[in-house]
């Protein structure tokens, strides 16, 4: 499977429908969470899905959301509950899942059906979403394989994105040789060939700007248009930080995979490392889990 991320350019009416879908997904999530909190087991998703037709008769607004989108909300809820149950079995102290507050739901997903991508000769192409309509999308690179799933995401900055998942398995050619990699905070990594990659410390570089934007936000009156404008400005600052960090990690992992066919990574207990208050911020900024995930994804695609 491969996922492509493209930016959407919705109109005001499109945004209204997208926001409404997110809000109804949040309400459905909370509705079934309240029901499941009273039970000691996690029922099969099909059992919950069978309740949707009757719920639509009582709750007319749900008819404006595609059935697959509602089913994926239940899939998400059941997955969260099972993860919680597994942690409890493994000895962790866990509570209950929290209800999602307004604005907390950032994504919804079409699985298998309810979407269509249409390429045009214009700058923007078209993504047709059932119950929402045609939304302009910029497909800046070729989408390989058959589209299986589309996830719509609202970013902190207010921008909208479509994450398109296909069944294409990418095969990459790798280099030769074996390398061991030690991940650490002082230097981002050191490998067994003696190469050292300096830690870019993106958060440290942008921390003052983020603090400044946070202070500006705290001074704005709650519920005002100026506060919403500042919230979006702060979201854009965080988005830029994340993009810089991910760009660095993608380029780094790609370079290693192109030069080595076997990569041995240090086994890190990331949760334990982040509990150390002295280095927690640096460890979180380094995004070790994301780095490991990128290494794994690229190595799995080797010829």
pLDDT in tens, 69-122: 999 999 999 888 888 888 777 777 777 788 888 888 899 999 989 999 988 888
pLDDT, residue 121, reads 84
Sequence-ordered list of residues with C-beta below 8 angstroms from that of 23, at least 6 positions apart, any chain = 102, 105
pLDDT in tens, 198-219: 888 888 888 899 999 999 999 9
Q: What does the radius of gyration of the chain's CA atoms come to, in whole angstroms?
A: 22
**Do 146 and 237 lie in a common domain?**
no
The residue ranking higher by pLDDT, 111 or 295, is 111
Q: Are strands 133-138 and 187-191 parallel, antiparallel or unpaired?
A: unpaired
**Do 257 and 206 lie in a common domain?**
yes
**Do 147 and 8 lie in a common domain?**
yes
pLDDT, residue 116, reads 92
**Do 105 and 80 lie in a common domain?**
yes
**Do 263 and 164 lie in a common domain?**
no
pLDDT, residue 80, reads 86
pLDDT > 60? residue 181: yes
**Do 154 and 291 lie in a common domain?**
no
169, 196, 217 - which closes a domain: 169
169, 191, 211 - which closes a domain: 169
Domain range holding 98?
A: 1-169
**Do 17 and 133 lie in a common domain?**
yes
How confident is residue 285, by pLDDT bands cut at 50, 70 and 90? confident
**Do 287 and 182 lie in a common domain?**
yes
pLDDT, residue 275, reads 62
What is the percent of the chain with per-residue pLDDT over 90, rounded to a whole number? Answer: 35
Q: Are 253 and 299 in contact (CB under 8 A)?
A: no
**Do 250 and 187 lie in a common domain?**
yes
**Do 268 and 226 lie in a common domain?**
yes
Mean pLDDT of 132-153: 92
pLDDT in tens, 228-242: 899 999 999 999 999
Q: Are 29 and 105 in contact (CB under 8 A)?
A: yes
pLDDT, residue 19, reads 94
**Do 156 and 182 lie in a common domain?**
no
**Do 46 and 89 lie in a common domain?**
yes
How confident is residue 40, by pLDDT bands cut at 50, 70 and 90? confident
Return the exposure string of 196-205: e unless at least 16 CB atoms fall within 10 Å of the residue's CB, then b. ebebbebbee
User: 148: number of CA atoms within 13 Å, CB side?
Assistant: 10
Q: Are 22 and 106 in contact (CB under 8 A)?
A: yes
pLDDT in tens, 153-171: 999 888 999 999 998 776 6
117, 144, 169 - which closes a domain: 169
Sequence-ordered list of residues with C-beta below 8 angstroms from that of 287, at least 6 positions apart, any chain = 245, 246, 249
Q: Are strands 2-8 and 178-183 parallel, antiparallel or unpaired?
A: unpaired
């Amino acid at each position: 499977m491969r996922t492509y991320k493209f930016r959407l350019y919705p109109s005001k009416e499109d945004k209204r429908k997208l926001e409404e879908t997110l809000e109804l997904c949040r309400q459905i999530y909370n509705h079934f969470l309240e029901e499941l909190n009273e039970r000691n087991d996690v029922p099969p998703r099909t059992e919950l899905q069978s309740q949707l037709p009757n719920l639509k008769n009582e709750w007319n607004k749900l008819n404006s959301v595609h059935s697959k989108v509602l089913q994926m909300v239940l899939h998400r809820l059941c997955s969260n509950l099972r993860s919680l149950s597994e942690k409890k079995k493994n000895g962790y102290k866990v509570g209950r899942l929290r209800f999602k507050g307004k604005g907390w739901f950032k994504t919804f997903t079409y699985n298998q059906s309810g979407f269509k991508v249409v390429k045009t000769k214009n700058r923007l192409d078209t993504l047709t979403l059932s119950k929402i309509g045609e939304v302009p999308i910029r497909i800046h690179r070729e989408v390989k394989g058959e589209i299986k799933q589309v996830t719509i995401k609202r970013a902190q900055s207010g921008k909208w994105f479509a994450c398109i998942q296909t069944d294409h398995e990418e095969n990459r050619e790798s280099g030769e040789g074996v390398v061991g990699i030690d991940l650490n905070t002082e230097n981002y990594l050191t490998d067994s060939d003696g190469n050292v990659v300096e830690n870019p410390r993106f958060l440290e570089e942008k921390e003052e700007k983020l603090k400044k934007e946070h202070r500006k936000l705290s001074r704005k009156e709650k519920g005002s248009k100026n506060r919403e404008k500042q919230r979006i400005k702060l979201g854009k600052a965080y988005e830029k930080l994340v993009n810089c960090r991910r760009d660095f990690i993608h380029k780094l992992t790609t370079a290693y995979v192109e030069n080595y066919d076997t990569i041995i990574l240090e086994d890190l207990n990331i949760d334990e490392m982040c509990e150390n208050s002295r280095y927690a911020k640096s460890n979180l900024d380094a995004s070790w889990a994301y780095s490991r995930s990128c290494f794994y994804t690229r190595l799995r695609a080797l010829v």
